[in-house]
Structure 1
């Protein structure tokens, strides 16, 4: 759905509020935030043939009618990288995931939106984000979404009593853990999944602390062009500031 002129006017006026509270570059440039050690993990490539991109929970909130963000991104194949909070007291937590579309540095961030959210009364600290109910997130293109939906529907026709995670994805996650155990639990925490019968990749990964609602931001370079997308699963300073003190 194309945003209205009135919505676009409010969106521009709300730029500061929609920018989020943190410099998200830090998640991928610093090796420690709020006393928490950070490392980085590649989830492999994301296929972006159309430039219409979206972020969703792949098992609960993904069907062919889901809308992409109204701003288009560069097309091609790009690497998804997770910023990992490494702790001796807890499992590795994926605090953020970034897809860089080029080598330009983001000088500002703005929440990725569909273009029809009720942003008029949005207050400081509020965001829209995407919902997670299966403990997982994915980044994918609109074309990949249509291919995924076809696969998903056909799988359920062939397995009417089946659970697609338990009966299909669980083995793929476990295999990836066995091949790439770093920063994964033994059941697996990420995969670089290609929709069967296509060459379209959509990495799937754990969502920080699990179920919830998480913001997604576009990073803009000095020319105000989109240069990256970042999911913020954990506000590290907020989540760990008590431990640091």
Structure 2
């Protein structure tokens, strides 16, 4: 979708308010944040054939008309890493953030990824738009892989009337991945790297931190102003776990 000139004008005026309040590099480079031990889990690669990407709950919000983010990213296969809050006996492992790394350069600035239809008029510092999660999972898609995912959904529903896509298809994949890669997963599985049947495209699915909610997605920009990463922030570690002032 091409945003209106008025939207672009307001966006450029308010871009500084879209910056992430946290240094997300710490989530992926440090071993502890706000007193919580952090580890890193490799989730395989994600396929980005067109560079037009979006982040969605794969069980609820994957629809043919879903719009990608306004700014394109590099095309190809890119590694996906989760920053995990290590369990300390009181809770399970929580995925605080998930990063797609597009280049070898480090991000020096993180800014929320937008579609181009958001209401920016009354947007203020400390707010974010984000994407919705209703099934405790998220995934990174490309406009092309979205098309194949929707075709798979339609075919499954047509061939399996009365059956549920998660219970009767994905649950077995999550359980199998848990058996093969149990680190930082609950029984039943917390992530998979799904290869869409009939294609060579991969879509990683992963748990959304504390579960259902609305979560921001940030582009990482390098020193030259180019996009080098995408980070989904599920948990503001400093806010959730840091000591109250």
TM-score range, shorter chain: over 0.9
Partner of 2:48 in structure 1?
48
Partner of 2:105 in structure 1?
104
Q: Would you say 1:178 and 2:176 are equivalent positions?
A: no
Q: Which moved more, 1:103-112 or 1:131-140?
A: 103-112
Partner of 1:145 in structure 2?
146
C-alpha displacement of 1:59: 0.3
Q: Could you tell me how far apart the structure 1 residues matched to 2:5 and 2:24 are? A: 29
Q: Would you say 1:224 and 2:225 are equivalent positions?
A: yes
Partner of 1:122 in structure 2?
123
Return 5+ residue gaps in structure 2 as ranges. none
Q: Could you tell me how far apart the structure 2 residues matched to 1:153 and 1:23 are? A: 40
C-alpha displacement of 1:187: 0.5
Kept in 2, the 8 Å contact 1:36–1:87? The answer is no
TM-score normalised by length of structure 2? 0.97
Partner of 2:169 in structure 1?
168
RMSD: 1.0
Kept in 2, the 8 Å contact 1:40–1:81? The answer is yes
Deviations 1:13-37 (CA, angstroms, capped at 9, x unpaired): 2122101211111111111111100
Q: Could you tell me how far apart the structure 2 residues matched to 1:35 and 1:236 are? A: 9
Question: Matched residue of 2:229: which SS?
Answer: strand
Q: Could you tell me how far apart the structure 2 residues matched to 1:74 and 1:7 are? A: 25
Deviations 1:65-87 (CA, angstroms, capped at 9, x unpaired): 10100100000000110000002
Q: Could you tell me how far apart the structure 2 residues matched to 1:105 and 1:79 are? A: 14
Kept in 2, the 8 Å contact 1:49–1:76? The answer is yes
Aligned length: 244
Q: Could you tell me how far apart the structure 2 residues matched to 1:149 and 1:65 are? A: 10
C-alpha displacement of 1:6: 2.0
C-alpha displacement of 1:132: 0.2
C-alpha displacement of 1:5: 2.2
C-alpha displacement of 1:120: 1.7
Q: Which moved more, 1:99-108 or 1:10-19?
A: 10-19
Q: Could you tell me how far apart the structure 1 residues matched to 2:120 and 2:83 are? A: 29
C-alpha displacement of 1:124: 1.3
C-alpha displacement of 1:106: 0.7
Partner of 2:76 in structure 1?
76
Question: Matched residue of 1:175: which SS?
Answer: helix
C-alpha displacement of 1:93: 0.3
Q: Could you tell me how far apart the structure 2 residues matched to 1:223 and 1:8 are? A: 22
Q: Could you tell me how far apart the structure 1 residues matched to 2:74 and 2:159 are? A: 36
Partner of 1:203 in structure 2?
204
TM-score normalised by length of structure 1? 0.97
Deviations 1:146-200 (CA, angstroms, capped at 9, x unpaired): 0000000110111110111111000000000000000001100000001110011
Return 5+ residue gaps in structure 1 as ranges. none
